[in-house]
Structure 1
């Protein structure tokens, strides 16, 4: 028997709660700062309680945590550290699906001293990507082989049947986080040297890719170079972790960047003007047609389809990125009969002890269900839930602030994910330089 306290009632929480309740002796309570949200989720399951709490207030949530065995944090990543401090103070274990932040790393000694397990990065990306990568890396090292190249792409996309707009993208959540991620520089390892792509050029860097018969493109994520140490592959000469998109996305969103629509620092409010006037205003021009020379014709058509050049009112927003996000939400949503897709692919170049080389491709493709879970909610919620149960059962017992990079953690989670139909298909391939075309200069 275990008592789980789940902070957050978003779309990822439902499959997590459903999984934990498969054990009849488990109990679950859902916490949200909006009680109605917690109640809406709790009402889908018998015996689940709903509680309102301010997750920014450690003093408020600490006594709440005291009554539970394990805490799950599915709130925004910036709030995890507050919950972690409360969990450590109460001697409770914790799981998150988010990247380990500097604020979380600062709590490592406190977690060790308290004898608790706080497992981060156990969703999809990060999460399943780590599990599947480490399985292959550890096996290569066990066979006295070297991982020369590691390239990983992951994306949450519309299913091919739902890919019905110029961007090849849809949102089932607020788009601002996706856009803000495009405003960061990216670092990766290429031929043993660190290469930087500045934020302004990020989407221009995008490489054409193919996976499972789909025409895609990819751009690098933030800093991939640290995975040489995190994954234990000091021998690697090439490491890139990036994002999958359908062809066309990068060109159109780069055009939005070029026309200042992704400007998160601008203090130019929309003032409920019309879109044509507002786009001119934020670009400092009087002649709307003059903007056409700044972007490609196809990108212009894509932004026009979204509504950026219409006579429609913008609504009242503080700046360009918020107004643009509002347009995206209106135009890029899933219809009732449409589903999403998750696509994750690792590509390895591995050198045997005799100096010969070969490739491995490891691919996960998951589709949402009409009237059921989305692919994204399932591939984030289930790994987190499995980790919760394994910690509660004492199968994962490593203490401190930890990541799912070790065999004692990733093997049991992969085995249980396979029972849910979530599997990475591994394929050995003959060595061919063009297999890693994204590494070409």
Structure 2
């Protein structure tokens, strides 16, 4: 099929159902792996590529501000957002569609509102991975003291605080975030402060000696407070869109495929959706090798027909 113009999008989500006592109800996310490997690290440059049109680069520290709203017609109950997932350029060549596809975009999905909170935490300075002078002292600061330092100990004495607009959530932290311009409105400030308090970032508890940067501090608290619990149920959502434009003026086609998988509990034993969606393809690959159906040697991606054709059957 000749397709001179087309667009391809890969959107993926790995999130968890939650008990509000165990997981931050604002972020609605928990970690099954180290937080630095789970999409929190902003040190990499992210690239959203439009082939043959322009190259749009999104610096890692501005990643969360680039999030866009997303709704899937087949899943109307999900209020989602998407943000660029690393470099989309490589997939044109890997999929063999770089000449035909005018746009290739790969994104990560989160529940709507996630990125607004993470943007505020970034502006506060929690994603700075440089060593902080306050954390070099053997006399360890408290989480509250460290947050005060990041907020420059700003005074809110002369700030008019609208308790009604904050939903009755009267808190000096909200006023400080608004005064510094870290939040665009009261609603985001309230949600961010709830997250800060859920993570214990405003508690009079001592920061562990292993933390030398603001990034270390927030990762340590996230891993402690947002670790995947034994009584949680995770969910994996993958969504693909391929838009096809024909050269002879035929109507544009839009093909979509969505995978929604939940963790399962059978006979008292739980299996996460992450384990199923990662483990089953790995098992299929091992079976193909044992059956001598893969002749290519070395470390290979499952993009060759000798893998994905028998793997699909």
TM-score (norm 1): 0.57
* Distance of 2:89 and 2:294 partners within structure 1: 28
Asked if 1:230 is matched to 2:83, the reply is no
Instruction: Give the aligned partner of residue 81 of structure 1.
Output: none
Alignment of 1:311-390 (within 5 A): 311-316=204-209, 317-352=211-246, 354-356=248-250, 357-370=252-265, 371-390=269-288
Asked if 1:174 is matched to 2:34, the reply is yes
Distance 1:176 1:220, change over 3 A: same
Alignment of 1:191-270 (within 5 A): 192-211=53-72, 212-213=75-76, 214-233=78-97, 234-268=99-133, 269=135
* Distance of 2:200 and 2:71 partners within structure 1: 30
Larger RCO, structure (CA 8 Å, separation 6 or more): 2
* Number of matched pairs: 273
Asked if 1:157 is matched to 2:157, the reply is no
Farther off after superposition, 215-224 or 388-397: 388-397
* Distance of 2:2 and 2:102 partners within structure 1: 17
In 2, are the aligned partners of 1:168 and 1:248 still within 8 Å (CA)?
no
* Distance of 1:253 and 1:149 partners within structure 2: 29
* Distance of 1:304 and 1:337 partners within structure 2: 23
Distance 1:210 1:368, change over 3 A: same
Aligned-partner SS, 1:313: coil
Distance 1:283 1:178, change over 3 A: farther
How big is each residue's C-alpha offset from its partner over 1:260-293, in whole Å with a ceiling of 9 and x where there is no partner?
1122222442753221211233454465764553
Aligned-partner SS, 2:38: helix
Distance 1:146 1:344, change over 3 A: farther
Instruction: Give the aligned partner of residue 148 of structure 1.
Output: 6
Aligned-partner SS, 1:183: coil
Asked if 1:394 is matched to 2:255, the reply is no
Distance 1:368 1:216, change over 3 A: same
In 2, are the aligned partners of 1:273 and 1:315 still within 8 Å (CA)?
no
Aligned-partner SS, 1:277: helix
* Distance of 1:181 and 1:277 partners within structure 2: 24
Distance 1:159 1:411, change over 3 A: farther
More helix by share: 1
Instruction: Give the aligned partner of residue 192 of structure 2.
Output: 299
In 1, are the aligned partners of 2:235 and 2:260 still within 8 Å (CA)?
yes
Using the TM superposition, give the Cα deviation of residue 360 of structure 1 relative to its aligned residue in structure 2, in angstroms. 0.7
Could you tell me which runs of 5 or more consecutive residues in structure 1 were left unpaired when the two chains were aligned: 1-142, 416-441
How big is each residue's C-alpha offset from its partner over 1:136-194, in whole Å with a ceiling of 9 and x where there is no partner?
xxxxxxx3345610111112101378886110101122212225543322112237211
